[in-house]
Chain A
Amino acid sequence: MQFQLTEEQKTMQKLVRDFAEKEVAPGAAERDEKEEFSREIADAMGEMGFAGICFPEKYGGADADVLSYILAVEELSRADAGVGITLSATVSLCAWPIFNFGTEEQKQKYLVPLTEGTKQGAFGLTEPNAGTDAASQQTVAVLDGDNYVINGSKIFITNAGEAEVYVVFAMTDKSKGVKGITAFILEKGMPGFTFGKKEHKMGIHSSMTNELIFQDVKVPKENMLGKEGQGFKIAMATLDGGRIGVAAQALGIAQAALEHAVKYSKERVQFGKSIAANQAIGFMLADMATKVDAARMLVYRAASFKDQGLPYSKEAAMAKMYASDIAMEVSTDAVQIFGGYGYSREYPVERLMRDAKITQIYEGTNQVQRMVISGSLLR
């Protein structure tokens, strides 16, 4: 067992960290305040090839590994968690299912622009009444000649409105339950495909979250992803990988909170000494650092399992659950260490605390992760 990144992974980490510190971190507070998505940053990430890190060269990628991509999400999230999930939504939730389940034509048409960064991607599964119970999809797709006609809507969709490519799930046969769900690739601008209201969220303000609305959207048959009825399987497999992305996002948030707390506790003087000189603070920092490192091991392990072609569903669930739980804890502790200033928007830790919360909820709540983990133990 080795606990060192390879030279290549270290280079990737440094490259993304340099970009994140110089181009992402400086505007993070402002984007949070204005609830503003930065297309400029999304495009810059695309140009630099972040979305192609873990895909083969023949599909426009860099042919590096999943762990390198996960390091990128971590580094971006350390600067701005909204930017981290913007990348993760394109890569894990849109490019990956097309890469894994798409036809050669679909890969050339939709995957290559995503990995080359000229287009952004999104994933539409969640509906107002189909959250954790993804099987109760109301969106329907009916075959009509050479097209499927899609009607319905999706909510809480990351990158909605900004993305050009969408992996969307719809019922093709209600009588079959989960086996009646089918995945489709949609393009922004297809007639009848529109976007609803922008979601006002607690955190990750710099990521775009919106509704997808389908009114008689004609989707060519060749845009079906996988086979008819295979949608649920595709969604679950995609979310297994997506969870590593969310875990990395949580890890980046926790790492940022820890760094801010260490720095502030050394600078803040009370009773004539830095507050870090108090063991009460020192022990909090020790616990925070240990949790962050433990989370890091779980996250990197899940990515490394995926790289090695091993089953990683349980590992991804563990990584996502633990990293998001400790992101919440560590960011809350960071606010506590900052005291009154921590509660103020003058300092970044309150943003980290708001950003951390979603990581316990999306791409499967942490209760669902526990179902996945216990399910695999009790099989």
Chain B
Amino acid sequence: MEIVVCVKQVPDTTEVKIDPVTNTLIRQGVPSIVNPFDKNAVEAALQLKEKHGGKVTVISMGPPQAKDALKECLAMGADEALLISDRAFGGADTLATSYTIACAIKKLGNVDMIICGKQAIDGDTAQVGPEIAEHLDLAQVTCVSKIEVEGNSIKVEREHEEGYEIIETQTPVLLTVLKSINEPRFPTIKGTMKANRKEIPTWTAGDMDVNPDQLGLKGSPTQVRRIFTPQQRVQGEIIKADSAREAASKLASKLLEAKIV
């Protein structure tokens, strides 16, 4: 099974600092990480590969330093990595981004499954994955918490607040995954060494069959006016434990994991 995983390099913080003038992210001084949901996507792909064979290719669109994120995915065990990077892609909204990534996937060809994280922790739109499917005219299932593959048919669980749906579909398909789907593995030392030595090709606009008008700022019908954290109303979670101490330690590790503290 040929699997493509789309990953994004994001700043390691929930409180993303925004340039008040340009309304864009201030990346300077903030360490970058692989978007946590995307690590779940890589893990899901690796597990499918281990079970059914095939190849996992990770792709990312971003500045040259996004190679670091790709290297981390290679270290986890992905087979190939591809960076899509060009000044012409700068300022892209989700539509232009998904168009560009879709063009790259089209060029790769012969893909059975595309897996994306549900959303990136910086932009939080959850749009790029579904839009890639639209550009490629593929079936898609979002918010997936379980994947089963049998030949060409795919059975997934799609989670929502009240429970989950079981959806059956066929390859090729695009899935976006939740954190609950798995626990991403740590990269191994040898995997890291191999990843460090591996050449990661970069595709620019010129390397793909693209319509220049659909790229970057030019191809972006939406513009960010203001970014703020909205009032959230989410379902609470009751932490069960034998003692208050244990409960507190569980809570603390959950908060750390969620990058809230």
A contact residues vs B (CB 8 Å cutoff):
7-8, 11-12, 15, 18-19, 26, 47-50, 52-53, 62-64
Known contacts A26-B249, A26-B253; is A64 also within 8 Å of B193 by CB? yes
Given A11-B71, A49-B189, A53-B189, list of 20 further CB < 8 A pairs?
A11-B192, A11-B196, A12-B189, A15-B75, A15-B186, A15-B187, A15-B189, A19-B186, A26-B249, A26-B253, A47-B188, A48-B186, A48-B187, A48-B188, A48-B189, A49-B190, A50-B189, A62-B190, A62-B193, A64-B193
Task: Across the interface, name the chain B residue whose C-beta is closest to A18.
Answer: B186
Q: Which of A7, A26, A52 is B196 in contact with, Cβ under 8 Å?
A: A7
| B162 to A: closest C-beta gap in Å | 31
Contact with A along B179-217 (1 / 0, CB 8 A): 000000011111011001000000000000000000000
Q: How far is the CA of A26 from the CA of B249 in the complex (A)?
A: 8
Q: How far is the CA of A19 from the CA of B186 in the complex (A)?
A: 7
The reply to whether B190 and A52 form a contact with Cβ atoms under 8 Å apart is: yes
Q: How far is the CA of A174 from the CA of B249 in the complex (A)?
A: 56
Name the residue among B71, B187, B189, B253 with the largest chain A CB count within 10 angstroms.
B189
Task: Across the interface, name the chain A residue whose C-beta is closest to B253.
Answer: A26
Q: How far is the CA of A330 from the CA of B189 in the complex (A)?
A: 31
The reply to whether B196 and A49 form a contact with Cβ atoms under 8 Å apart is: no
Task: Across the interface, name the chain B residue whose C-beta is closest to A49.
Answer: B189
Q: How far is the CA of A315 from the CA of B253 in the complex (A)?
A: 40
18 contacts between A and B (CB under 8 A): A11-B71, A11-B75, A12-B189, A15-B75, A15-B187, A19-B186, A47-B188, A48-B186, A48-B188, A48-B189, A49-B190, A50-B189, A52-B189, A52-B190, A62-B189, A62-B192, A63-B193, A64-B189
Q: How far is the CA of A26 from the CA of B71 in the complex (A)?
A: 27
| B179 to A: closest C-beta gap in Å | 14
List the B side residues contacting A11 at CB < 8 Å.
Answer: 71, 75, 192, 196
Q: Which of B221-261 contact A (CB under 8 A)?
A: 249, 253
Q: Which of B84-104 contact A (CB under 8 A)?
A: none
The reply to whether A12 and B192 form a contact with Cβ atoms under 8 Å apart is: yes
Name the residue among A8, A11, A52, A53 with the largest chain B CB count within 10 angstroms.
A11
Q: How far is the CA of A48 from the CA of B191 in the complex (A)?
A: 9
List the A side residues contacting B196 at CB < 8 Å.
Answer: 7-8, 11
Q: How far is the CA of A53 from the CA of B189 in the complex (A)?
A: 7
